Every structure is written in C-alpha cells, then in structure tokens.
Amino acid sequence: MGKKTEAAGFTPTGAVYKSTKLPKPTKKTHKSLGIKKDELLGLFECMYRQRRFEERAAQMYQKGKFGGFLHLYIGQEALSSGLNHALNADDDIITAYRDHGMGLARGIPTKAGMAELFGKKTGCSNGKGGSMHFFDVEKHFWGGHAIVGAHLPLGAGIAMANKLRDEKKVTVCLFGDGAVDQGSLNESFNIAQLWKLPVVYVIENNGYSMGTSVARHSAGELVDRALPYGMKHDIINGMDLFTVIEKFQQVAEEVRNDSLPHLIEVRTYRYRGHSMSDPGNYRSKEEMQEFKTFDPIERLKTYILENNIADEKKLEGISEEIDKEILEAIKFAEESDFPDDEELYKHIYADDDFPYLK
C-alpha cells in the first residue's frame, strides 16, 4: 500500500499503521504445561474445526444459503481453543459478535452452529440469534453480543452472581479492540475492581476496529485501561496456543483465589475482513503475509510434527474427519426446518401466555 500520509484531520490517515505488534510466545512445551498428547491432538482438532466451519460458512453465505451478517474468526483460533483448555467446564464465558470460534471451542456442536447460521430451529439459539448470537447456557457460554461493549457489564454481573453464591468460578468476558473505546468498559472495570468481581476481561486485539487500525482508534496502549483502576493486566501473543494456555491457567488460578478482576490483552490477527462485505483496503498484503507466517494452526501442526507427537498422515486423518463433519453439518442445517410460525411469539417472556399486543 501507499506511504503513510500525515493527517490534517483528527484521526491519523494512511493505511500502513501496522495493526499490532506480537509479544514473544512462551518457551514452554506441552509437557511443561501439563498437556497430554491426545489433548494436544484434540486442540489441533478444535482449532481446525473452527477454521473449516468458518471457511464453509463463508462459502454457504456466498451461495446465498443464509442472510444477515457473518463475522469470521479465522486466525484467532488459538485464543478460543487455549482459553477453553485452561478453564473449567463450569466457568463462564461471554463474548462479542465474532463468536463462532468461541462457541465451537466451548462445545457447541458444528451441526447446531451451522443450523443457527441458517436460522433453523435446530440451531444453538433455536434459529433466533443467528451468527452474532450463539448461545449455549448449559455449557456456560453466555452468548455472542452484538452491541459493541454492551456485554462488558454483563460479564461483571455473571461474575457477581457467582461471587454472591460463593462459587469459585471464573467468568471470562471477551471483546474486540474496538470495544475498548466504549464508556461501558470504564464503568465495568470500575465496578469489577471496586467490588472485587472474579471476572477476566480479554481484549481480542486483532489490530482493527472494523476497518480502523488500533493506532487510529485508540489513544495509548489498550491494556493501560487497567491502570487507573489498579486492575491486574497482561499482554500476550494470541497466535500461539501454548502462550494462551499458560496465561489463562495462571490467571484463572489467581482469580479463583483472590477474586480480583484481570485484564488480558491478547494480540492476534483475523485473516478475513471485518464482515463478508469488507474489501480490506485498510491493510496491506505484506502485513497479511507476515501474520500468515504465525498462523496458529500451522504453528501447532509444525510443533506436533517436529516433536513426533503424530505424523502427517494422522493429522490428515483428523482433518479429513473434520471436513466430513462440517459437510454433514451443512447437510443437517439445510435439511432442518425453520422455526414454526408460532415461535414468533415464543421466548420473549418467561410466560407462555403473555398477552402480546396484536
């Protein structure tokens, strides 16, 4: 892309404000992190499932199989996978609208996820949420939320409920770098620190708030938002699975013990546009190429092969199984029924006989 031009306006212009700088990954191995071999292959499978799910979702979207928005997580799978590995099954997760990867990592079946994209009644939110509102409350996945920053206080509230019940549970509340600029962040951080709520706030810094690079949308370092509240904070490399697992194991442990909130800025990268209609003119091809060399799935694959945890054939076998699973999910979604007409008036109120205005 062209060279940087200094701005006459308020926001710096020019495309080559590099999105984000990756910190060094951890030097720890799977062994030192306590990850068993089959767990490691499971993590590869988890990441690859998210990747293929979304690639196929994009294809189905372009085929016109479903409408609405579609925000892809491709490139950020190390975070969702590592985070879930580090947390307990009854810890709580709430995230923003780029939620497919996190939902699948938390255990939403690919069939239910794909059916939700298609708006079918077999979807994980009964076809009523769509791409941006994957929910699986049984698995403590409290949803994707589509108003930027609006779910930050919800994360604090979920943590507060756990604390009031004296449950030693961690709530992880994830949001993008764009949400850092919302007022809700400051109100939530203040209350969380003031009331010592067991919530981990995670900035998924993928470098861009829609089409605006971090340097162009946010003053100062993102993680420094923790400073005025005296909140513990870290910046980590989100392209590296082991780094994510290491940090979240440590932080989850801490939070369970001291019930203090924590802010983690996870630096990562999305290989796709903000949404399906994004031409991506705001970033350079060179930057994309550079970050592709850090692709978390390729990284893990290399690690597995180099450390003789599995051979190429084994990994290909896993990939093929996933490919099949995703195609079955598409078939399932296509063949599933749309919600019945009566569903229009269901799930709005707790009462089935609520007298709606008609």
Partner 1 sequence: MAEKQFREALREAMTEEMRRDERVFIMGEEVAEYDGAYKVTQGMLAEFGGRRVIDTPISELGFAGVGVGAAMNGMRPIVEFMTFNFAVVGIDQIINNAAKIRSMSGGQVNIPMVFRGPNASAGQLGATHSVAFESLYAHFPGLITIFAADPYDAKGLLKSAIRDDNPVIFLESEQTYGMKQEVPDEEYLIPIGKGVIKRDGSDVTLVAHGKMVHVAQMAAKELEKDGIEAEIIDPRTIKPFDIDLVIESVKKTNRLVIVDESHPFGGVAAEVGFQIQRDAFDYLDAPILRVTVPDVPAPFARNLFDLWFPSPKNVIDAVNTVTYRK
Binding residues (CB under 8 A) for partner 1: these are 92, 94, 123-129, 133, 135-138, 142-143, 145, 147, 150-162, 164-165, 183-184, 187-188, 190-191, 194-195, 346-351, 354-357
Comparing CA positions, the residue from 48, 120, 121, 123 lying closest to residue 81 is 48
Question: Between 195 and 271, whose beta carbon lies closer to partner 1?
Answer: 195
Q: How far is the CB of 278 from partner 1 (least distance, A)?
A: 24
Q: Is 187 exposed, middle or buried (0-12, 13-18, 19+ CB in 10 A)?
A: middle
Question: Between 135 and 208, whose beta carbon lies closer to partner 1?
Answer: 135
Question: Between 36 and 347, whose beta carbon lies closer to partner 1?
Answer: 347
Comparing CA positions, the residue from 124, 212, 134 lying closest to residue 176 is 212
Terminal-residue alpha carbon distance, the chain: 55
Question: Between 89 and 357, whose beta carbon lies closer to partner 1?
Answer: 357
Cβ atoms < 10 Å from Cβ of 214: 23
Question: Between 286 and 345, whose beta carbon lies closer to partner 1?
Answer: 345
- In our burial notation (b when 16+ CB lie closer than 10 A, e otherwise), range 231-261 reads bbbebbbbbbbbbbbbbbbebbebbeeebbb
Order of strands, edge to edge, in the sheet holding 199-205?
Answer: 141-145, 92-96, 171-176, 199-205, 262-267, 232-237
Q: How far is the CB of 186 from partner 1 (least distance, A)?
A: 8
Question: Between 156 and 235, whose beta carbon lies closer to partner 1?
Answer: 156
Question: Between 112 and 310, whose beta carbon lies closer to partner 1?
Answer: 112
Q: Within 29-134, where are the H helices? A: 37-62, 77-86, 100-106, 110-117
Question: Between 7 and 194, whose beta carbon lies closer to partner 1?
Answer: 194
CA distances for 199 relative to 163, 175, 262, angstroms: 10, 13, 7
Q: How far is the CB of 343 from partner 1 (least distance, A)?
A: 9
Q: How far is the CB of 54 from partner 1 (least distance, A)?
A: 21
Per-residue DSSP letter, 136: B
Looking up tokens 């239910």, which residue turns up? 112
Comparing CA positions, the residue from 196, 165, 201 lying closest to residue 180 is 201
- Report the C-alpha gap between 296 and 77 in whole angstroms: 7
Q: How far is the CB of 69 from partner 1 (least distance, A)?
A: 14
Q: How far is the CB of 110 from partner 1 (least distance, A)?
A: 18
Length, in residues, of the chain:
358
